[in-house]
Amino acid sequence: MKVIRMLGYLGLIIHGLFILGPLYVMIVTSLKNINDVFSIPPKLLPFVDFQPTMEAFEFVANTRVLYAFLTSLGVATAATAIAIIPSLLAAYGFSRYKKAAMNDERSFFILLTLRMTPPFAVVLPIFLYWNLFKLYDTYFALVWTYSVFSVPLAVWLLKGFMDGIPLSIEEAAKLDGYTFMERLRKFIIPVLGPGIAATIALVWLFLWNEFLFALKLGGSNVITYTAYLPQLRVGQRIQWNVLGAIGVLGAIPPLIIFLIFRKQIIRVYLGR
Amino acid sequence: MPKIGLVNINKKYEGLHLLKNVNLEIPNNTLFVILGPPRSGKTALGRILAGLELPDSGSIFFDDEDVTYKGPNQRNVSLVFQDFALYPHLTAYDNIASSLLKSRLTKEEIRKRVKEFAEYLKIDHRLTHYPSELSGGEKQRVAIARALVRGAQIIILDEPFVRLDYKVREDMRAQLYRLHRDLGVTVIILSSDHMDAMAFPDNIAFMLEGEIIQVGNLDAMYEKPTNLSIAKYLGLVEMNVFPAKSILDLKGTEIPRSLSMLDGTMLIGFRPEHVTLHYENTLKPDKIILAGKVKITEIVGSETIVHLDAGLPEPVRVLISMIVRKTPGEAVRVEVDVKDIYVFDAKGKFVGRGGDLIGGDIAR
Amino acid sequence: MSRKNIFPIFLQLPINIIIFSLVAYVLGWLIYSVFYTTPPGGQTTFIGLNNFITVLSDARLFNAVLRTAYYAGLGTALEVLLGMIIALGIVNLVSSNIRRFIILIIFLIPMGLSEAVVSHIWLMLLTPQGYLNSILRYMGLQPVGWLTESMALNSLILADIWQWTSLPLLLIYAARVSIPQDLYDMAKIERLSAFTTFRVVTWPYIKNALIVATLLRFIFMYNTIDKIVLITFGGPGLATETIGYYIWMQSFSYRNISYSATLSLLTLLSTAVLAYVFWKSLKR
């Protein structure tokens, strides 16, 4: 038995190293001079194998990459902001009016289907659509597209949280004389608070990380940090260190969100 | 305070006929219990009374005013939910004050009223706490304070004691009575616990499957229940009920002549508390004497329930008001006075008591 | 009474406006493009069911389907299996809740990264002069052709496993943790073997989580082509061309608008079927 336990611990450790390894590699690469990136033996220890330098990050700060990050920030935030309140109303409907038209299970299923649509199947028509209105490579196009694709996720999450609030609380508020808008504002949203925050965080994260639409709907004007990445591979020399730096910077918002919302996120996955 | 009249209330929900032509009058300023098993329609009735839902047909009158279509706020009715429904993000104080915030009272006046009711219900020391920090009994008192502070004249409580532990229940029952007496409000309790009927015996309405079966005081229901369900519902230990035939056909027991006049399909019931141990070996003219073997003895508090295998379809339950130890298999004889018997027809409708038999009122 | 019926519809109107503004055109365009084609500089012509005939005889599509089945199938199976083993491992070997939490958060990090970022991390590892081969060479071993025709698809699966194993892991972990300890105590009292305990106590509870995890991951792997776009470009040759990447190529490289629309429409139909299966499994 002891042997199996030892093997088990070993397995967990190996998996831990498996997860942390590539992350470490990314961080280390971001601190390298472009010539130090690949070598035999591989230079993996800063100060020991190579001199760490901030030149990759300086590149990010001084070129369009910075602009790309700001674009990602703006676009993700704007789309989330647009999608959140309509999604909240819809989630309320799906939760409390399960028998009504457009709020029933079938409608919810349609929303689910939308969420599972592969982007590759719809990028072309959407691209052509925005082209038609001469809105290719505009912020509006990307933000609006992002809003459309955020809605199913947001409604799904919010409905889950909404279902967890007993109906009797709303009825007590009704008995106390509050109208629907007042109930929404003073009782539902405050009680739903952590759930709404977690939903906003997860939706924002999804958009921050999005790649395909940003690549095809943006162009020279509108470029997110994810869409910028391929540009570092043109030409002979791939700027690996800058790729690493972008990866590190791109990983910061997810980490912050995980730290702030660790309890809610675990709860979403744990279904409680 | 007003007199409540429910006239021909009907309500269907998802194909189920929840309330079937309910007619009920609740006199003003009473402490009224609506008793019934789960799914009998009590909660639906309570919600319609409170104005949370509309009946499919029928009307509600407060004194002589038709309030059927008035919203809960215009009706002066308060409802205390089974799960208390306290707002988790507000303190106890804010919970209680919530309904007053919509009125035209000043902040000072609101504070006064809230403190008044909080003190009356003895929760003024917990006003700054949140619901998650309160005990079950405290939560309920906050819920009641919230319902009262609006100045409602009618307060409905849906299964108020179900979530409290035993000792707290006793305190809360006393508290509710005091409330009714001191404030002069009509208190309506929706309950499935017969103990609540016993605690508030003066005004009871029994509901079964969406209909009101009997209205009256506890004594009337205890002695002359209109229905077998009511007879079985009330009483510390459930009534023994057997088809008359099974008793009449019993060998080795004494059946008074008066009983033999009964139709075999009728049902005979007798309460465990009316069954006594038979010691003398003499025949008594108006007592049923059953002989059997002890199956189980249950000691509950300071009383004993003996389950007796007497050759009837089910064991006979005997309630003895002291601690008696009987061994399983022990042969025991018990007796029931014919006067204590309840007779029902095959459908469960009340026909009469044993006393009516002796007088010859019930015949084949 | 009618007041009550209309209100919920108003709740749904905002999102429907948002969604409809795009979806209506997309669906309409797809259906239209399946039956009509406009060759560059030419006339718009009705082509009837030609596209569907092409689909049936498209060998490249057929191979892409096979590759997708392999990629999504094997990837999902490995992720769910690994996730389950690790989840159960954590529950059985790590007793402190704090340590469990830390471990879970660490395993969660790859899921929070963009597919684009993960693609480049693994590009650093897999590229011929990259880190994995450097380490192998340093140890005196032969370098591996991670991105060659025979290995590329498997390397992509490896990258996906790295990023997404934690999803099945979390779902199964949650299910496992919800099992009352009493059942395990009973199993111990009855001296059940580890295997029987798993079969009788653990399995009934985690079965659902396993199914949900499998469906979620399969659909996701089917839907996502980011890694293929960024690491292998569908190659070498066609070695990593899945259905999604094939459609991507048809849309933007070959610009066969009509055919791409057909494939997209067919994909959407299969998505609806998969969503239906997922929906049914959730309702249990």
Say which CATH number the domain at B197 has. 3.40.50.300
A10 touching C (Cβ < 8 Å): no
Pairing of strands B31-35, B186-191: parallel
* Mean pLDDT for the stretch of residues A117-145: 93
Is the pLDDT at A268 greater than 80, yes or no? Answer: no
C58 touching A (Cβ < 8 Å): no
Q: What is the pLDDT of residue C1?
A: 39
Q: Answer whether residue B203 is part of any domain.
A: yes
Measured CA distances, B194 to B128, B200, B223 (Å): 36, 10, 15
Q: What is the pLDDT of residue C266?
A: 92
> Between chains, do B102 and A176 touch, taking CB under 8 Å as contact?
yes
List the 114-143 stretch of B: residues with Cβ below 8 A of A. none
Percent of chain C with pLDDT over 90: 53
- Lowest-pLDDT range of A82-86, B352-356, C123-127: B352-356
CATH of the domain at B350: 2.40.50.140
Encoding tokens for residue C7? 């209100």
Q: Of the candidates B73, B81, B88, which has its C-beta nearest A191's C-beta?
A: B88
Q: What is the pLDDT of residue A217?
A: 93
Measured CA distances, A196 to A154, A203, A266 (Å): 9, 10, 15
Q: Which residue has the higher pLDDT, B252 or A38?
A: A38
Q: Answer whether residue B288 is part of any domain.
A: yes
- C58-283 homologous superfamily: MetI-like (1.10.3720.10)
Q: Helix, strand or coil for residue C57?
A: coil
Q: Are B185 and B155 in contact (CB under 8 A)?
A: yes
- Lowest-pLDDT range of A65-74, B241-250, C121-130: B241-250
Asked if the ipTM is above 0.95, the reply is no
Q: What is the pLDDT of residue B361?
A: 56
* Mean pLDDT for the stretch of residues C108-116: 93
On whether both B12 and B124 belong to a single domain, the answer is: yes
Task: Determine the residue of chain A that is closest to B77 in CA distance.
Answer: A175
On whether both B123 and B181 belong to a single domain, the answer is: yes
* Mean pLDDT for the stretch of residues C91-119: 89
Q: What is the pLDDT of residue C117?
A: 95
On whether both B56 and B143 belong to a single domain, the answer is: yes
Q: Answer whether residue B231 is part of any domain.
A: no
Bond prior to C236 in cis (omega within 30° of 0): yes
Is the pLDDT at C5 greater than 80, yes or no? Answer: no
**Domain encompassing residue B114:** 4-226
Percent of chain C with pLDDT over 70: 98
Place of tokens 């809230």: B114
Q: What is the pLDDT of residue A272?
A: 41
Q: What is the pLDDT of residue C166?
A: 93
A206 touching B (Cβ < 8 Å): no
Residues on chain A touching B150 (C-beta within 8 angstroms):
176
Encoding tokens for residue B55? 């009946």
Highest mean pLDDT among B13-17, C201-205, C234-238, C242-246: C242-246
Residues on chain C touching A118 (C-beta within 8 angstroms):
222-224, 244, 267, 271
Is the pLDDT at A269 greater than 60, yes or no? Answer: no
Separation in Å, CA of C177 to nearest CA in chain A: 9
On whether both B240 and B219 belong to a single domain, the answer is: no
On whether both B279 and B148 belong to a single domain, the answer is: no
Q: Answer whether residue B168 is part of any domain.
A: yes
Q: Which residues of chain B have pLDDT under 70?
A: 1, 252-254, 281-285, 357-364
> Where residue C3 falls among pLDDT bands split at 50, 70, 90?
very low
> Between chains, do A172 and B52 touch, taking CB under 8 Å as contact?
no
On whether both B9 and B127 belong to a single domain, the answer is: yes
Q: Answer whether residue B62 is part of any domain.
A: yes
> Between chains, do B81 and A191 touch, taking CB under 8 Å as contact?
no
Task: Determine the residue of chain A that is closest to B155 in CA distance.
Answer: A175
Give the residue from B244, B198, B211, B80 showing the smallest Cα distance to B150.
Answer: B80
Please, what is the average pLDDT of chain A? 90
On whether both B212 and B126 belong to a single domain, the answer is: yes
Is the pLDDT at C2 greater than 50, yes or no? Answer: no
- The C-alpha atoms of residue B271 and residue B289 are separated, in whole angstroms, by 14
- pTM of this structure: 0.85
On whether both B41 and B160 belong to a single domain, the answer is: yes
- At which of B181, B197, B226 does a domain end? B226
- At which of B226, B252, B270 does a domain end? B226
Give chain B as a 3 state SS string.
CCCEEEEEEEEEECCEEEEEEEEEEECCCCEEEEECCCCCCHHHHHHHHHCCCCCCEEEEEECCEECCCCCHHHHCEEEECCCCCCCCCCCHHHHHHCCHHHCCCCHHHHHHHHHHHHHHCCCHHHCCCCHHHCCHHHHHHHHHHHHHHCCCCEEEEECCCCCCCHHHHHHHHHHHHHHHHHHCCEEEEEECCHHHHHHCCCCEEEEECCEEEEEECHHHHHHCCCEHHHHHHCCCCCCEEEEHHHHHCCCCCECCCCHHHCCCCCEEEECHHHEEECCCCCCCCCEEEEEEEEEEEEEECCEEEEEEECCCCCCEEEEECCCCCCCCCCEEEEEEEHHHCEEECCCCEEEEEHHHHHCCCCCC
Side-chain-side CA neighbours of C116 within 13 Å: the count stands at 26
- At which of B226, B248, B280 does a domain end? B226
List the 97-116 stretch of A: residues with Cβ below 8 A of C. 97, 100-103, 107, 109, 112-116
Report the number of distinct structural domains present in chain B: 2
- Give residue C180's Cα distance to chain centre: 32
Q: Answer whether residue B363 is part of any domain.
A: no
